[in-house]
Structure 1
Amino acid sequence: MRVNEEGWDEEEGVAVTSATPAPAALSPPPAASSGLQRLVVGYALTKKKVKSFLQPKLLALARKKGIHFLSIDETCPLSEQGPFDIILHKCTNKEWQQVLEDYREEHPEVTVLDPPSAIQHLHNRQSMLQEVADLNLSNSYGEVCAPRQLVIMKDPSSIPAAVAKAGLTLPLVAKPLVVDGTSKSHQLSLAYVDTSLSMLDPPLVLQEFVNHGGILFKVYIVGETIRVVRRFSLPDVNDYDMENNEGIFRFPRVSCATNNAEDADIDPCIAELPPRPLLEKLGKELRRRLGLRLFNLDMIREHGRKDRYYVIDINYFPGYGKMPGYEHVFTDFFLGLVQSKYKRRLSGS
């Protein structure tokens, strides 16, 4: 590992930053009624998420640190399970979300990651980027914005006129409006000409395509910790592409279909990671505005503009298992949550 003066691992293309150091030791958590000093994390996750997140390396490290993962049975009353210190979940079932909201009110001593009402903002691509657009973040390290976009609810034949009225510039990336965890919700299409727009399938979001050198930055946020990795993305679009393509081109989910870009020979101007101070400011503001602690950003740098970045997607509880060192990040995060809550109780705040 080679870490530069800003705290970036240049060899791995990974940014490591945390505003809060891991606690040296865990004070007795509120739920340790049995006298054992252990932290109980209840989880309600899909089988796919359990497999990708609860990997052996996380479970082994968690055991060493006194963290116990307990599966939640969604068919049984939540109040009859546990006790829990933390509840970790990623379920879109509305009945479950209501159960969890009720549980939060009845058991304020339990930390729920994250509030279902806050997660809902990321289930709709119209609302997920609104906070980024409203933020209008700019400092000496660069600026972060959201691409211009248009929501189409129905009637594909009206899309060309709607695009012209909104003043959007082709090509346009088409994404499903609703993000429901299915592979279909992450499918991308690229429209080069206005005559092809009526071939799209609403409801959807149309985003102006921004050339970005074919590199995407996955910005993982876990509380106050931020880590970044590079991924290959859609290639730039040039004049030849615009003149010789008339249809709709459908792409598989970019993060799944492309290879890791960490070891590739990439132009340094394209491969350079976003400045850490810019990401820390962005992460802090979005945590506050979204009310979330577990999410990631898909971020690109405009090709030819070293200091202009676009957030093109936000995902709740993404595939953290692909994040380097995620097991250390999460165990420290869990311990820190309970430690800070325990200290607040002692102080009476």
Structure 2
Amino acid sequence: MSSSSPMCSIGYPASPMKVQRFIQNSLINQAKQHSIDLIKIDPTKPLAQQGPFDCIINKLYGPDWNHQLHLLSLHHPNVVVIDPPQAIKRILNRVSMLDVVTRLKLPQGNQTFGVPNQRVVYESENLMDLVGEVGLKFPLIAKPLLADGKGEAEGLLLLSQVSNLVVKNEVEGCCSEVKKFVARNEEDKCCSSEVEKLVEKAEMPPLEFVMELAKGLREAMGLRLFNFDLIRDSRDGNRYFVIDINYFPGYVKMPEYESVFVDFFFGCCGREEEEE
């Protein structure tokens, strides 16, 4: 890149810890080599007193922070926020999270997709009554209703003693899990949609199918930084289930994630890297 090119300023909050793990020295150094400045934001201070920013990576939740982002958008509408709080909120709830999947209007050829049968169980309800009502079958997987990263329990639980859980059928005989990471700017100029990680050795789903599903989810949710967990039903080798969608996942697990995000940052700043 030309030495005269202006810096692209990317702001990120000093917390939570996941963001700190993402901002590795290797990413900071590679970004600087390409005129990208990663700026730490103090969320306790007004954003107007910090920056200026071309883009802000958003991984904080709460009304105070959301209000700050709202004020920033009013006074500096050209600053790109990745991602908007209202878009993130949808996938912090495990019910609305998978509702997005069921509403996708994608052409399904040989490969089809869906979500496991699930139901929210409230304190006043009897789980055994619900099993017959909605067609759930044991064994069941129970998860907290909120997926906000503050704690997660997954596995077989004594469900009669817990409440406010999402209960879903375990997909019988599923033999593999694929984690699909997505990082894509709004104009699709640069993207990363790696890595597919198998829990057990099994045949991978067709890449075109996974890419189309990733694109459909991105457009439906309005998110640019997320991953989704995809499992294959061994009873139907062409049937896949989306079981979780996670905002701002562990991108450091991706090979050469630094290069991926240098390209991503350029796209979000509305710039393209110049040839040396």
Aligned pair partner of 1:187 in 135, 153, 161: 153
Aligned residue runs from structure 1 range 112-261, under 5 A: 112-135=81-104, 137-155=106-124, 158-182=126-150, 184=151, 186-190=152-156, 196-199=158-161, 201-223=162-184, 224-232=191-199
Q: State the Cα distance separating 1:305 from its structure 2 match.
A: 2.3
Q: State the Cα distance separating 1:209 from its structure 2 match.
A: 0.6
Structure 1 residues 135-193: Cα deviation after superposition (integer angstroms, max 9, x where no partner) = 264523401111111011323x61111222111122211000011211x2x211225xx
RMSD: 2.2
SS in 2 for 1:169: coil
Aligned pair partner of 1:325 in 238, 251, 256: 256
Q: State the Cα distance separating 1:307 from its structure 2 match.
A: 1.2
Total equivalences in the alignment: 266
What amino acid does structure 1 have at the position aligned with 2:257?
Y
Q: State the Cα distance separating 1:339 from its structure 2 match.
A: 2.8
SS in 1 for 2:252: helix
Q: In the alignment, what sits opposite 1:248?
A: none
Q: Sort the Cα spacing of 1:67 and 1:76 in 2 relative to 1 into closer, same or farther, 3 A.
A: same
Q: Does 2:63 correspond to 1:102? A: no
Distance 1:298 1:45 in 2: 28
TM-score between the two structures when normalised by the length of structure 2: 0.89
Q: In the alignment, what sits opposite 2:46?
A: 77
Distance 2:80 2:105 in 1: 31
Distance 1:141 1:337 in 2: 35
Q: In the alignment, what sits opposite 1:281?
A: 212
Distance 2:127 2:14 in 1: 37
Q: Does 2:271 correspond to 1:309? A: no
TM-score between the two structures when normalised by the length of structure 1: 0.71
Larger radius of gyration: 1
Q: Sort the Cα spacing of 1:98 and 1:300 in 2 relative to 1 into closer, same or farther, 3 A.
A: same
Gaps of 5+ in 1: 1-24, 29-34, 233-260, 342-349
Q: State the Cα distance separating 1:225 from its structure 2 match.
A: 2.6
Distance 2:83 2:196 in 1: 24
Distance 2:14 2:220 in 1: 25
Q: In the alignment, what sits opposite 2:187?
A: none
Distance 2:175 2:156 in 1: 14
